Amino acid sequence: FRISLLLLPLALVTVVYSQGGSFRPPSIPAIIAILRYQNSPCTTDSNTPGTCLAQNDCLARQGTPDGTCASGFASCCNFKFTCGGRTKENETIFVNHLYPKTDNGTNTCQVTIDKQPNVCQLRLDFEEFSLAQPDENGQCTTDSFMVRTTVGERLPILCGDNNGQHLYVDMGRGSANPVVLSVVTNGDMIGRKWKVKINMIPCNNLDMAPSGCLQYFRSPSSVIQSFNYGLPVR
């Protein structure tokens, strides 16, 4: 930490120098703001959780500067959790590769969620979810979203529009097996986009849905809509 403390003003000088052309010493408030917010959580312009970092640090760690933080003195760094990713962190947000833009084409995008000993269920919130519609038989033949687990009920294969829907996934008590989410897309006729929040629910927690329940609504007045699969012909 001491090293970064010493280097930070220096990095800032470099940034100011290279951007402005003419040398301007960094202001004291700028240094204090960056030191204070360094590594703290922030919200990116794409509305995903980010980490507040000096722009150079963000780029050096393979992130994408996406918005500002530290009163505008640093970047909100976006470390996207997308295709090929693996996580054990709570509240991870799984997005399509080009999010917030849409993806197009034939692809398999897969992420792995490792089981933590104290976690028994996952709640997936489809904050945004738009894949190709099912075929005339209601089958997800073009695109599909699948959850692979080794325990619990078989989960439905999803496609079409499922904005605002959620799904509970049992991870099992004894199992140490991960859960794999995969999105398979076929063809380039539409743009696909998704943003799925992954919440880990501790075992023996009141938030746990009854085992085998796909959807669980605590509020008696919430609107219950069926998933966009098995839709009649339109």
Ligand X SMILES: *[C@@H]1O[C@H](CO)[C@@H](O)[C@H](O)[C@H]1NC(C)=O
Interface residues toward ligand X, by CB under 6 A:
90-91, 104, 118-119, 188, 190-191, 199-200, 202
Element housing 58 (H / E) = helix 55-60
List of residues 6+ apart from 128 with CB closer than 8 A:
163, 193, 194, 195
Q: Which long-range contacts (CB under 8 A, 24 or more apart) does 37-44 make?
A: 37/69, 37/70, 37/71, 37/73, 37/74, 38/4, 38/8, 38/70, 38/74, 40/69, 42/67, 42/69, 42/76, 43/67, 43/76, 44/76, 44/77, 44/78
List of residues 6+ apart from 155 with CB closer than 8 A:
146, 147, 149, 167, 169, 214
Largest CA distance in the chain: 66
Between 2-20 and 28-37, two packed helices, what is the crossing angle to 10 degrees? 130
